[in-house]
Copies of this chain bind each other. A is one copy, B any other.
Amino acid sequence: MYIKLDFESEKPIYTQLMEQIIAGIAKQELLPGERLPSVRSLAADIGVNLHTVNKAYQELKQKGFILSHRQRGVVIHPDGMPPADQEFKDQLYETLHPIIAESIARQLSFEEFTKICRDIFQTYLDKEGD
C-alpha cells in the first residue's frame, strides 16, 4: 500500500496518514486482521518522526479501526470496522453542513454535488474485490 504525504499541506501529517490508512481500508487493500508496519519502520519509510506515526496509530485505535495485538503488532481490527452508527452520522452531518452551505452560496446544485460524491464513491468501489 502506497502512502502519499503532502508536507506543504496545512493538514497535519498524522491526519493525512490516518486518512490514507482509512482509504486503504475503504479500498479493501487493507483487510481485517492484516498487519500494519511498526511505527518505527513506517516512520523510516515515509521519512517522518516515529511520534507522528504513533499519533496516527493512536487515533485510529481510539476510533476502532486498528488495534495492537501483543504478538502480531498493529493490525486492522479483525472484527471488522466500526459501524456508521448514529454518532458517526451526526458527526457527518456537522461536517458536511458548512461544505454544503458554501456549495449552495456558490449556486452548485444538489445534482452537481451528488455527481461529485458519486465520482468519489466510484473510485473506492471499483477497487473492491481486488
Q: Which residues in A have some Cβ–Cβ distance to B below 8 Å? A: 7-9, 12-13, 19, 22-23, 25-26, 48, 62, 65, 67-72, 81-84, 88-89, 92-93, 95-108, 110, 112-114, 116-121, 124-125
State in angstroms the CA–CA spacing of A124 and B110 once bound together.
11
- Please tell me if the beta carbons of A23 and B116 are within 8 angstroms of each other in the complex: no
Give the secondary structure class of A's interface.
Answer: helix
User: What residues on B are CB-neighbors of A67 within 8 Å?
Assistant: 8
User: What residues on B are CB-neighbors of A65 within 8 Å?
Assistant: 105
User: What residues on B are CB-neighbors of A83 within 8 Å?
Assistant: 106-107
Q: Which 6 A/B pairs are nearest by Cβ-Cβ distance?
A: A84-B108, A26-B104, A84-B106, A19-B98, A23-B101, A25-B105
